[in-house]
C-alpha cells in the first residue's frame, strides 16, 4: 500500500522532531522560562556538558541527551527557554509544537523560585496542553538567601501536579525529581491539573466548542486547549493539528488493517 514511514509514531518523532525513541524508552521534555537553570538540570540528568550561562535565550537550539532511569532509557529534550507558549517567536513555536505533537511521556517545567509568579505563566500554559507535568521549583538556594519562601506542597495542590523543589547547581532535589518524573511517565502516578478559570464569556465559548472538538479529537489533544486556540483564531496551529491528525489516522488505519488480516 506504500505507507510512508511517516505513518508510525516512532518515525513521526524521528521525522518531525529528530528524536530516536527506543521501543520502551521514555521521552521527557524540559520546558521553562529562560535562565531558570534548565540547561543545568539537563546536564545533571544526562551527564552531558552543554554550556550553561546566566543569559536569557541561551538554549535556542533544542538539545537532546539520554539518561537511564530505573533501567529505562530516557531521551531528554531541552526545549528553548520561553516566557509563554503563545507562539510569538520561533522558539515558542518550537517548544509548543513539541509539547503538543511529540507528546513527551512527561514534561518537567523548570521554574525560578525567586520569581515564581512570572514563571507560573508558562507552567500554567504547559498544563493546558499536557497533564503529565512535574513542576520543578529550581534555585531554592537562591530564594532562601533572599528570604523568599515557596510552599511547594500548596503549589502542588493549586496546580494539581507534582511539585519538586530543587537547587540544581548543588544537585539538591534531583533524585526526587527523577523518580517523580519516572512515576508519572510510566503511569504509576496520575495528575489532574486544575484548569485556568477564564472570564465568563470565554468559559461559555469554551463550553460550546469543547464537546465538538472532543468528538473529533477523541482525547488526542487537550480539547479545552484546542477550543481556546479556535477562539483566538491561531490558524497556523490549527493547520499543524490537521497535519498531525492525518499522520495519526494513517497509523491507526495500518493497525486496523493488520488486525483485519
Can you give the binding site for other proteins, defined by CB under 8 A?
34-35, 49, 51-57, 60-61, 80, 84, 86, 88-91, 114, 116-118, 120-121, 123-125, 142, 146-152, 154-155, 158-159, 169, 196-199, 202, 205, 209, 212-213, 216, 228, 230-233, 235, 238, 241-242, 245-246, 249-250, 253
Nearer to other proteins, 9 or 118 (CB): 118
- Closer by beta carbon to other proteins, 68 or else 215: 215
Question: Quick one: 13 or 168, whose CB is closer to other proteins?
Answer: 168
Cα distance between residue 50 and residue 125, in whole Å: 27
In the complex, least distance from residue 183 CB atom to other proteins, rounded to whole angstroms: 23
Instruction: List CB contacts of 129: < 8 A, sequence separation 6 or more.
Output: 85, 96, 99, 100, 221, 222, 225
**121 versus 191: smaller Cβ distance to other proteins:** 121
Q: Which is nearer to other proteins, 22 or 246 (CB)?
A: 246
Least Cβ distance, residue 2 to other proteins (angstroms)? 12
Distances (CA, A) of 239 to 215, 230, 246: 18, 11, 11
| Beta carbon of residue 230, minimum distance to other proteins (angstroms, whole number) | 4
26-32: strand order across its sheet: 63-69, 72-78, 26-32, 106-112, 133-138, 163-165
C-alpha 201, offset from chain centre: 28
Describe the crossing of helices 235-260 and 9-17 by its angle, rounded to 10 degrees: 150
Query: Rg (Cα) of the chain, in Å, rounded?
Result: 19
| Least distance (Å) between residue 107 CB and other proteins | 17
Between 15 and 235, name the residue whose CB sits nearer to other proteins: 235
User: Which residues, other chains included, contact 6 with Cβ-Cβ below 8 Å and sequence gap of 6+?
Assistant: 12, 15, 247, 250
Least Å from the CB of residue 30 to other proteins: 18
Distances (CA, A) of 253 to 7, 103, 109, 228: 9, 20, 34, 29
For the bound state, the minimum distance from the C-beta of residue 254 to other proteins, rounded and expressed in Å, comes to 9
Amino acid at each position: 500500500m506504500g505507507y510512508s514511514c511517516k505513518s508510525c509514531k516512532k518515525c513521526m518523532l524521528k521525522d518531525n522532531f529528530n528524536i530516536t525513541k527506543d521501543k520502551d524508552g521514555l521521552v521527557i521534555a524540559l520546558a521553562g522560562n529562560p535562565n531558570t537553570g534548565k540547561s543545568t538540570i539537563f546536564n545533571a540528568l544526562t551527564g552531558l556538558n552543554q554550556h550553561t550561562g546566566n543569559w536569557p535565550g541561551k538554549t535556542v537550539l533544542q538539545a537532546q541527551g539520554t539518561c537511564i532511569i530505573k533501567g529505562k532509557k530516557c531521551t531528554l529534550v531541552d526545549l528553548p527557554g520561553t516566557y509563554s507558549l503563545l507562539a510569538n517567536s520561533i522558539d515558542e513555536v518550537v517548544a509548543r509544537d513539541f509539547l503538543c505533537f511529540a507528546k513527551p511521556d512527561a514534561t518537567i517545567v523548570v521554574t525560578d523560585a525567586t520569581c515564581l509568579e512570572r514563571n507560573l505563566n508558562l507552567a500554567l500554559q504547559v498544563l493546558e496542553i499536557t497533564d503529565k507535568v512535574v513542576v520543578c521549583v529550581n534555585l531554592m538556594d537562591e530564594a532562601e538567601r533572599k528570604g523568599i519562601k515557596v510552599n511547594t506542597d500548596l503549589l502542588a495542590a493549586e496546580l494539581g501536579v507534582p511539585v519538586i523543589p530543587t537547587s540544581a547547581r548543588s544537585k539538591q532535589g534531583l533524585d526526587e525529581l527523577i523518580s517523580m518524573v519516572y512515576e508519572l511517565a510510566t503511569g504509576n502516578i496520575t495528575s489532574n491539573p486544575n484548569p485556568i478559570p477564564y472570564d465568563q464569556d470565554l468559559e461559555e465559548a469554551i463550553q460550546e466548542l469543547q464537546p465538538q472538538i472532543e468528538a473529533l479529537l477523541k482525547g488526542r489533544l487537550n480539547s479545552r486547549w484546542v477550543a481556546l486556540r479556535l477562539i483566538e483564531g491561531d490558524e497556523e496551529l490549527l493547520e499543524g493539528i490537521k497535519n498531525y491528525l492525518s499522520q495519526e489516522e494513517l497509523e491507526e488505519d495500518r493497525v486496523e488493517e493488520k488486525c483485519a488480516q
